Amino acid sequence: MPSLDSNIEYLKGVGPQRAEVLKKELGIFTCRDLLFHFPFRYIDRTKFHKIRDAHNEGEQVQFRGILRRLETLGEGRARRLVGSLRDETGMIELVWFQAVQWLEKSLVVGKEYIVFGRISEFNGRFNITHPEMEEVAPVSGGEPATPSSGGSRSFDPVYPSTDKLTQKGLDAKGLRKLIRVLLDGLAPAELPETLPDYLTAQYKLTSRREALYNIHFPANQQDLDLATRRLKFEELFFLQLRLLQIRTRRKDSIRGFVFSNIGDFFNTFFNEKLPFELTGAQKRVLKEIRADLATGKQTNRLVQGDVGSGKTAVALMTMLMALDNGFQAAMMAPTEILAQQHFTNITELVGELGVNVGFLSGAIKGKKRAAILEKLAAGDIHIVIGTHALIEDWVQFKNLGISIIDEQHRFGVEQRAALWKKNPAGPPHVLVMTATPIPRTLAMTLYGDLDVSVIDEMPPGRKPITTTHRNEHHRLRVQGFMREEIAKGRQVYVVYPMIEETETMDLQNLMSGFEALSRDFPTPQYQISIVHGKMKAADKDFEMQRFVKGETQIMVATTVIEVGVNVPNASVMIIENAERFGLSQLHQLRGRVGRGAEQSFCILMTSFKLSAEGRERIQTMVRTNDGFEIAETDLRLRGPGNIEGTQQSGMLRFLLADLARDGQVLTAAREIAMRILEADPNLAAPEHVRLRQHLASEGKEARVWSRIS
């Protein structure tokens, strides 16, 4: 019998041809890959339905009854075998289009059968096409009849498969046979226990070997539940154990610059220049950051907060801590618009402090760029704000102490790593920020090795944005409302999901929308700006500045304005084809208004027909302004792998665990892992030898980027 690490072709029943298809279609290269190719659902063969209850089309059902009729109808390709199955509650038709001759000889009218298949409807009557038939053999002595196979009914696993696999006999049934051969032949040493005995006993977890057998071949729902619970826990527990080990080792091994002073820059700004009172959440997060920076250990902290919660103020005050200790600070944003916005705001805030703020992007060339680079290298620029241009090799700092990365999920891991290398004397501290609220389970997974701060309080006096749902019937009313707001001196965003029409997607698009609005809001009474990603940077900036200055009343745009646009006078956000946007993106777009003292509005325009998921997204936006509640709904609807910015994370490729549903398991796994590492940081105790061995074997393939967040 081959081992788990053997090539799959050496498993009995596979061979070179089937192995090639398994590799190409499912990525199954070894016996281990096959073992961990889990079913995605199960057919409950222990449960029998009554025929009178068969009224859900598409449902898989199992009946037990007498075959009452069997006849062949039609000719040629239309030839079919039709039968009737009756139980004490009614009758249902059975239809076969293939193997008609063989079935005519095999099936016997008047005998009792177990019938399994999917309900379909034809001409107002329910039937089962190509059902599985199993004869119930009579038993002497008055005992009830039993299936002729003699086997007990069970939960049949159904595996992901493809047409090419089916052609090679590797449909769900074929894969079941191979996995049973594999499991029956595995020696106990091939499936060692990975958890300490005290852990499995304390939390009543089934053994690993039993769990792997029962995930494929459960005898009943209880066995399946126990197997699933064990394997989900193991998956999440070892992930958290690895992340927490990484965090501990980083803190212990990577020295950081000590920011021990809180001096003139910080104190003068806080006491004299800060134009508003900090919220309690901002103060709490600043204390957490300040404590980090004084430890002498390199800081890696995630700061997350909803749109408008005040992350930029926290970032600026953190950079001033660096300046007070003789270091430079850098802030990197994903778009030129956002970087320019930060530069303008921060320059204005620190104007009289003697802080030199520089701006660097790919659009800055020639002598202007050379002058900025020279000042950075000499230390004459204290704070530099820019785009990914900051990570280029030609950008050198004199003494970079902290790197702040805004909307960090928009940068690749290697891009973030490049900033980490900008000080030859040692790694700068790293603060990563996101205005996309992250569900707690996702944060524990994606950023489980980081320290996390949450700004969960909005500045006082800010009015909640009123969100409404409208469709094409309401178009004239919406335009009337736009005119009312513009008459009050306010401005309006109108956002479209596309730039030009495509043949495949029937969307209201930006260009036709711009033309329609130009007719409905004619010059000279109204002025309209247009911004999209295909424009040249200079043209985009020109249009954006016209809107910022109030020279235009309406901004027609794509999602290029999702981040980095701060126009307090804009009070209305209209999102066309809102059903085409994800929840987090809708929330980000809504956050472009509500930045001034006046009441702001978000109008979600959709088509008349909405899917159930689309309707729930829209209803969620109308119901709440809470970004964290929205993020939890987004996670539940779309799953972690589809949430923006998470696709790059290999940590989300779970075999069984589901972050949208398994939050309690994840929380328990993390707490248990923390307790174990607090008591035994190196897992050196005898009872933790299994943990150590499993981490070593699983860690060979892992490439960890956690040191740079």
Out of 153-157, 685-689, 702-706, the most confident range is 685-689
pLDDT at residue 207 in the model: 95
- Report residue 192 as tokens: 């060692």
* pLDDT exceeds cutoff 60 at 271: yes
pLDDT tens, position by position, 275-294: 888 999 999 999 999 999 99
pTM: 0.68
- With pLDDT > 70 as the criterion, what percentage of the chain qualifies? 90
- Can you tell me the distance from the alpha carbon of 539 to that of 364, in angstroms, rounded to the nearest whole number? 15
- Report residue 529 as tokens: 């700006």
Local confidence band at 59 (pLDDT 50, 70, 90 cut-offs): confident
- Sketch out the chain's domains with CATH numbers: 1-44+157-187 (1.10.150), 47-153 (2.40.50.140), 264-293+310-434 (3.40.50.300), 466-624 (3.40.50.300)
Q: Which backbone phi and psi does 631 adopt, to 5 degrees?
A: -65, -40
pLDDT tens, position by position, 363-405: 888 999 999 999 999 999 999 999 989 988 889 999 999 999 9
Contact 459, 282 (CB under 8 A): no
Q: Which of 111-115, 270-274, 335-339, 521-525 is least confident? A: 335-339
- Can you tell me the distance from the alpha carbon of 603 to that of 593, in angstroms, rounded to the nearest whole number? 11
- Report residue 587 as tokens: 């929330």
Exposure of 333 in the CB half-sphere (CA atoms within 13 A): 21
Closest to 453 (Cα-Cα) out of 201, 655, 284, 600: 284
Instruction: Kindly state the average pLDDT of the residues 107-116.
Output: 91
pLDDT at residue 650 in the model: 46
DSSP 472: G
pLDDT at residue 709 in the model: 41
Q: Where do the H-state alpha helices sit in 559-688?
A: 583-590, 612-623, 627-638, 663-679
pLDDT at residue 138 in the model: 66
Task: Please report, for residues 17, 98, 157, 171, 574, the alpha-carbon distance to residue 164 in angstroms, rounded to integers and kept in the order given.
Answer: 12, 20, 20, 9, 47
Residue 102 vs residue 679, higher pLDDT:
679
Task: Please report, for residues 19, 102, 308, 677, the alpha-carbon distance to residue 620 in angstroms, rounded to integers and kept in the order given.
Answer: 47, 56, 19, 40
Residues whose CB is less than 8 angstroms from the CB of residue 536 and which lie 6 or more positions away in sequence, other chains included: none
Instruction: Kindly state the average pLDDT of the residues 593-601.
Output: 87
- Can you tell me the distance from the alpha carbon of 192 to that of 425, in angstroms, rounded to the nearest whole number? 46
- Kind plus residue range of the DSSP H or E element containing 607: none
- Kind plus residue range of the DSSP H or E element containing 606: strand 601-606
Contact 306, 485 (CB under 8 A): no
Q: Which backbone phi and psi does 137 adopt, to 5 degrees?
A: -85, 135
- Kind plus residue range of the DSSP H or E element containing 15: helix 15-26
Positive or negative torsion for Cα 35, 37, 41, 45: negative
- Report residue 575 as tokens: 């999102």
Task: Please report, for residues 7, 37, 702, 705, the alpha-carbon distance to residue 31 in angstroms, rounded to integers and kept in the order given.
Answer: 6, 10, 20, 29
pLDDT at residue 98 in the model: 83
pLDDT at residue 702 in the model: 44
Ramachandran quadrant class, 123 (left: phi over 0; alpha: psi -120 to 50; beta: rest): left
- Report residue 264 as tokens: 């003139």
In terms of residues, how long is the chain?
Answer: 709
Peptide bond connecting 147 to the previous residue in cis, omega within 30 degrees of 0: no
pLDDT at residue 706 in the model: 40
pLDDT tens, position by position, 551-591: 999 999 988 775 556 788 999 999 999 998 888 889 988 98
Ramachandran quadrant class, 110 (left: phi over 0; alpha: psi -120 to 50; beta: rest): left
